[in-house]
Each structure stands twice: as structure tokens, then as C-alpha cells.
Structure 1
Amino acid sequence: MTVRAVLFDIGNVLIEWQPVRFFDRVIGVDRRVAFFAGAPILNMNERVDAGENFQDSVAEMIAAHSDWTDELALWRDRWIEMPSPVIDHAVRLLRALRRARRPVFALSNFGNETFEIAVCNYPFLDEFDRRFISAELGMSKPKIYIYQRVEDECGIQQDALLFTDDRPENIAAAQERGWRTHLFDGPDGWAARLVREGLLTTEAAV
């Protein structure tokens, strides 16, 4: 079966997502470790990805964890510094696939408000043929329903979908649906996979 659509995760595939690195730089490692232990910030981020309002969620966290008001305000006000930098080669691959007239979709866990911020700063996120964003759908990877939603909306047979993601659990869920998958550990390996699948020439995948 020929691949009929390529799906990209966004965080750590097209843009590095490193909140730990951001807070280590801004407040120091020791303070960051205490912050992440004292306030369930990553759990909050998962709820935002599932559809909760970003600003409201941070406000609730500040009310519940007043000792970390400054740090939570950093998460809110400087959020765009956490998804950084762009993985340039991966973006070139996205654009090469589109030039080759290969349908390219996004399948990513992302909040509604934070995705709008990201698109304003990274316009290439508007270049997908279709986007499947968790908060818009009210469901997140690796829950099986989001993969089923992709299948239902695009109407493409499972083994004609090729999906790359940096999280093994997200890849495993796609494999259970019969998708072709690639665990992203850098753009060079992904480029080589796209060439092997006959989706890009070696020259186009550089």
C-alpha cells in the first residue's frame, strides 16, 4: 500500500518543546526542580491540551499554589519561549512533501490558545493540508479516539497513513490502528524514512 498522507507531531518534531530547559535558564535548576515538584504544571498542560482554557487554567493554578505565582506567571506570559527553537530540517521536509503534492497533516497535542500563539510565531504551522489538534477535538494522544477521528475525517486506509512522533506511547497507539509509524529522534532519520517510502527524492529530503 502506497502512503497517501504523512502526519507530523509538532512538539519535538517540528519545534523543540523544552519547558525544563526554559525554567532552568530563567530561574535556575534548583528552583525549577522545586517548582515542578510543588505545582502540577505538567498535569495542567495536559488539561489545556485536552481543551481547558489556557489563561483560566493558569489562574486556577495561581490561586491554588500561591507560593509559585511568579513561576506560573512565567508559564503564562513567556510560554512562546518554551516551544523553541524550530527544527529547521523537519520544516524543510514538511515543505518538500507539499511541493511533491503529498498530503501532509498535523496530529498534535496542543491547547487552543497556545496553538494560536504558536501559529503567530511559527507561520509554517498554517501550511498543513489538515490539522488534528487535541484541544480542538477534545481528545489527546495516545487515546485511541483521536486516531479514529483522523481515519474517519480523512477517509484514508490505516496502512496508507505514515505518522511521526517523538513519544513511544503515541507511536504504539498508532501502530495498534495499523498505521505506518516512525519514532522521531531527529530529522535525518525521518528524512531517510521518507526517501525509503518513495515520498521524497534524496535531493528533496536534504
Structure 2
Amino acid sequence: MNIIFDIGNVLVRWDPVNIVRSVINAPGAVRVAELLFAHPDWHEIDRGALTIPEIIKRAVERTDIDEDIVAAIYHAVPASLTPIDESITLLKQLKQAGHGIYALSNMGHDNAAYLAKHAPFWDEFEGRVISAEVKLIKPDPAIYRYLLNENGLTNSECVFIDDSLANVQTAEQLGIRSIHFCSASQASMALKQFVTWQE
């Protein structure tokens, strides 16, 4: 079986509010996180259509946040993507058991480059599709098909793990068995109906 992992909030932590608080530890962090990370511009970073300097400029123009703060927040993102140890252990157990390990993630170029250099699990994947590199983002069905086609995978021989219900639902519509990730232990239990491995 082939196991396809999302990365953010599955293999690494993704917490916009904490990212903001690491720069400005003050009331209003939730609002700032929404302004900077819930805006469509952030999805365009994931799509590879905007750069960090461009999104900083646009955020300063549309909000009341100082440029140096906006820049510091966006530049703090890569280092905030710390591994979730339990998930990495699960990934390595699955690989050791002979299952194919793949990644399908919405992620901008800068974050992917940081993880490629620092993440202990990055080289475990037999194939990776990063949204910014292919100019597609989940839940667009095209990015799932791209992963399958590029790696010669059959949908019925894959299990997809993602923390986004919308992304999981699209995968299931394409015939890919899926798990809505809440925790490593929950995902591990759910996986047992599809695959076997030694814990």
C-alpha cells in the first residue's frame, strides 16, 4: 500500500496564532493571524503565484499592521514548522514495513526549501508534490491526479492522510481511501483497517 501524507498539521506543526505571538506577544494575535494567513494571498503563496516580498507589500497595503511586523511574521513561518515526533515515528514504521511513502502538501517555496534542509523526514518520501512547485493547490482534484500520474500510483492502492476535511473528501471522490487526521494515535488506529506494520 502507498501512504500519502499531508505535511502541515500532520508531520509538522502549523499554528498561525503562535507564529504571530512569537513576533508580537500582545492582544490581537488571533486577528493578526487571520489577516495574514486566512487571506486569499496566503493561498497564492501555496500556489506559487506570489513571493514573500510581494505578500508583505500587499498585506501592508490592506491592513494597519507595520511593515516590519508583517515581514517578521512571514519570515518566522519556516522555523515554526517543527516535526510532530509521533507522526514521524508512524511514517518511519510504515516505510520500514515496505509501504510506499509520499507527500502531497499545500506549501510555498520558502517553507518547502526550509523543510528540505532541516526536516528529518524529508528524504523518507519516494515522491513529493508541493503545491507551489506544480501551481496547483488542494482540494483541486488536479493536484491529486498529478501525484498519482507522476509516481505511477493507482488510486485504489493508496491511503491519504490530511488534517483538512475538504482535502480528504476530494481524495475519497477520486477513489483514494482517506483518513481525516486529528492526531498520530488516531491516524494509526484508522490506518489499521487498510495496512499492517510493526509498531
The alignment's TM-score, normalised by the length of structure 1, stands at 0.85
Query: 1:131 maps to what in 2?
Result: 128
Is the 1:50–1:139 contact (alpha carbons within 8 Å) kept by the matching residues of 2? yes
Alpha-carbon distance in 1 for matches of 2:52, 2:136 = 19
Question: SS at the partner of 1:49?
Answer: helix
Alpha-carbon distance in 2 for matches of 1:198, 1:34 = 42
Alpha-carbon distance in 2 for matches of 1:56, 1:142 = 26
Are residue 151 (structure 1) and residue 148 (structure 2) matched? Answer: yes
Which deviates further from its counterpart, 73-82 or 97-106? 73-82
Deviations 1:56-94 (A, max 9, x none): 33343255247421321112332224323x211110111
Aligned residues: 198
Question: SS at the partner of 2:21?
Answer: helix
Alpha-carbon distance in 1 for matches of 2:69, 2:62 = 10
Is the 2:23–2:73 contact (alpha carbons within 8 Å) kept by the matching residues of 1? no
CA displacement at 1:104 relative to structure 2: 0.4
CA displacement at 1:177 relative to structure 2: 0.2
Q: Which runs of 4+ in 1 moved over 6 A?
A: none
Alpha-carbon distance in 2 for matches of 1:182, 1:91 = 16
Alpha-carbon distance in 2 for matches of 1:15, 1:33 = 20
Question: SS at the partner of 1:16?
Answer: coil
Alpha-carbon distance in 2 for matches of 1:167, 1:75 = 23
Are residue 15 (structure 1) and residue 12 (structure 2) matched? Answer: yes
Question: SS at the partner of 1:110?
Answer: coil
Is the 2:60–2:70 contact (alpha carbons within 8 Å) kept by the matching residues of 1? no
> Could you list the runs of 5+ residues in structure 1 that have no partner in the other structure?
none
Query: 1:94 maps to what in 2?
Result: 91
Aligned sequence identity (%): 27
Deviations 1:96-150 (A, max 9, x none): 1221221100000011122101222213122211001111111000011111112
Alpha-carbon distance in 2 for matches of 1:162, 1:40 = 28
CA displacement at 1:193 relative to structure 2: 2.6
Question: SS at the partner of 1:17?
Answer: coil
Structure 1 counterpart of 2:192, which letter?
Answer: V
Is the 2:158–2:176 contact (alpha carbons within 8 Å) kept by the matching residues of 1? yes
The CA RMSD over aligned residues, in Å, is 2.2
Is the 2:108–2:132 contact (alpha carbons within 8 Å) kept by the matching residues of 1? yes
The alignment's TM-score, normalised by the length of structure 2, stands at 0.88
For 2:185, which of 180, 184, 188 is the aligned residue?
188
Question: SS at the partner of 1:188?
Answer: helix
> Could you list the runs of 5+ residues in structure 2 that have no partner in the other structure?
none
Alpha-carbon distance in 2 for matches of 1:183, 1:34 = 27
